[in-house]
A = this chain, B = another copy of it.
Amino acid sequence: MYRSHNCGELNVSHINTEVTLAGWVQKSRDKGFMNWVDLRDRYGVTQLIFDESRSQKEVFELAKTLGREFVIQAKGTVIEREAKNATMATGDIEILVTELKILNAALTPPFTIEDETDGGEDIRMKYRYLDIRRNPVKNNLLFRHKVAMEVRKYLSDLDFCEIETPYLIKSTPEGARDFVVPSRMNEGQFYALPQSPQTFKQLLMVGGMDKYFQIVKCFRDEDLRADRQPEFTQIDCEMAFVEQEDILNIFEGLTRHLLKEIKGIEVEKFPRITYDYAMKTYGNDKPDIRFGMEFGELNEFTQNKEFSVFNTAELVVGIAVPGAGEYSRKEIDALIEWIKRPQIGASGMVYAKCNEDGTFKSSVDKFYDQEDIANWAKTTGAKPGDMIFVLSGPADKTRTQLSALRMELANRLGLRNPAEFAPLWVVDFPLLEFEEETGRYHAMHHPFTSPKPEDMHLLETNPKAVRANAYDMVLNGNEIGGGSIRIHDKTTQQLMFKYLGFTPEQAEDQFGFLMNAFQYGAPPHGGLAFGLDRLVSILGGQETIRDFIAFPKNNSGRDVMIDAPSIIDELQLNELHIKLDLV
């Protein structure tokens, strides 16, 4: 036993107790005749005291040699502190040390092991094991564990069974890119790492394993955007004999449970909005509804006037920004520049200030009178002191641009309170999405998603109008989960592959096992998956998922701590029956 107690648990009730602690030297203050050391472990910090008059000489001298992050073991007596520290759990006591042992010395860490560190992202990633000693990172990992445990308990209590699906599966050319694994035993052949356990969970439903879940790593070899990881974790769920309503209820229940248990927050029944409503109202299928700024469509108040930009636009749409009526001309110009950046791509922006006296001052006063703008204000919900911003152009593009502006302004105005949680369901997603590049439709969710039966007849004539039994759970502007009712008969699944441009041979080759399974008594089924990394980071009130992953990869998919990926030797390549093919 290296310790009798941890560094977070001692208090006045332990005074005069003999204790042994072990941990890291957080800091040491040497006053000559007196020396204090803050000793840290996972559980907290406890102050050690070495006193020339009360400590043995060797112990006193040894204490003076301790550097930051030395690992030590200290035995001593709990005594009451003279100068109590109310900000520390153990702040009422200190340990008068009688025995001291250095368990391991430490080089000076390359950055400070403090809540606010002087280390940049790169150096912290290279020495991630030191970064993890810092409270913010440590607490995030503990928090993640707590969330995962609550998920498992909740679902287990509802009779869900966690089942491990394989990691070495079959590669399919469809969708985002697979990581592949050459097989030594099966020459010239490859496994793939799962992008999700989708087909396996459906096969479990065919297998009668009703109510499946799994917290599982998934893999996607795609170019990494700022906050994506090549390996990520899903809470993957599936149920048999269910309709969409059943799924929404169960997983709304799970999310409410998490908010209550983890955050102490009770939320109302989740609003449900359709995809179409979300796009029209927020320009976004994962709207942040913690603040208003809902879109107002202004076509009827803007067209057939002299302003040709609006006259010819498919959509004229605005938002009322609370308190932005005070924006200076300079601020507005900067905002217009911002929205014209290539990433957003608006060609310009019209604004109208709502004066306190009920009048308006717009950038298009030449074309629109006060009554016109009053209608804009009414439609966007603008109040005196607000600013109305208006964009125009092709409907889809313009909505996306206005959504970006809405989120940007909400961030600037501090309207996205991380302590507030506003979950909702977005339902009735389109089944198909037209891809300009390839000139064909692909599945918006995935090829196993069931079309709504009442829209099936539109598949041939108006594919874009076919709605799916698909749904997303959205929290504070992020999709945290999504799923669908699945196709469960071979004929519909074949039809779907046909519409997605598969030849019958391709469909059979890649998904024959699934369609075959559907012939042996497949129940109606559906499910969803949560992104655990994202869920945890939002519940934790933080922005980046990397902060909730013990050993994340950087934007090039590299683990800079262990230096992976790396080259492997010729012998290994030979055994795998591959060779390099470098450009």
Q: Hey, which bits of chain A sit against chain B, CB under 8 A?
A: 1-3, 22-24, 40-42, 69-71, 103-107, 109, 127-133, 138, 141-142, 144-145, 148-149, 152-153, 156, 161-171, 173, 177-193, 199-200, 203-204, 206-211, 217, 219, 221, 223-224, 230-231, 233, 241-243, 245-246, 488-489, 513, 517-524, 549-551, 553, 556-559, 561-569, 572-583
Contact indicator B550/A231 (Cβ below 8 Å): no
Contact indicator A556/B170 (Cβ below 8 Å): no
Contact of A241 among B3, B107, B562 (CB under 8 A): B3
What chain B residues lie within 8 Å of A191 (beta carbons)?
Answer: 179, 564-565
Give the CA-CA distance A233 to B163 in the complex, in Å.
Answer: 12
Assuming the contacts A200-B551, A523-B104, A562-B170, asked whether A567 and B128 have C-beta atoms less than 8 A apart, the reply is: no
What chain B residues lie within 8 Å of A2 (beta carbons)?
Answer: 241-243, 524
Give the CA-CA distance A2 to B523 in the complex, in Å.
Answer: 10
Contact indicator A182/B180 (Cβ below 8 Å): yes
Contact indicator A562/B513 (Cβ below 8 Å): yes
Contact indicator B577/A578 (Cβ below 8 Å): no
Contact indicator B104/A580 (Cβ below 8 Å): no
Give the CA-CA distance A557 to B567 in the complex, in Å.
Answer: 25
A437 to chain B minimum Cβ distance, whole angstroms, is: 16
Contact of A184 among B22, B168, B221, B243 (CB under 8 A): B221
Contact indicator A231/B170 (Cβ below 8 Å): no
Assuming the contacts A521-B104, A557-B186, asked whether A550 and B164 have C-beta atoms less than 8 A apart, the reply is: yes
Contact indicator B168/A209 (Cβ below 8 Å): no
Give the CA-CA distance A170 to B161 in the complex, in Å.
Answer: 33
What chain B residues lie within 8 Å of A165 (beta carbons)?
Answer: 550-551
Contact indicator B520/A564 (Cβ below 8 Å): no
Give 14 pairs: A residue, B residue, CB < 8 Å, sorted on A. Answer: A2-B241, A22-B241, A23-B523, A42-B208, A164-B233, A167-B219, A168-B553, A171-B568, A180-B576, A188-B582, A189-B567, A191-B565, A513-B561, A577-B582
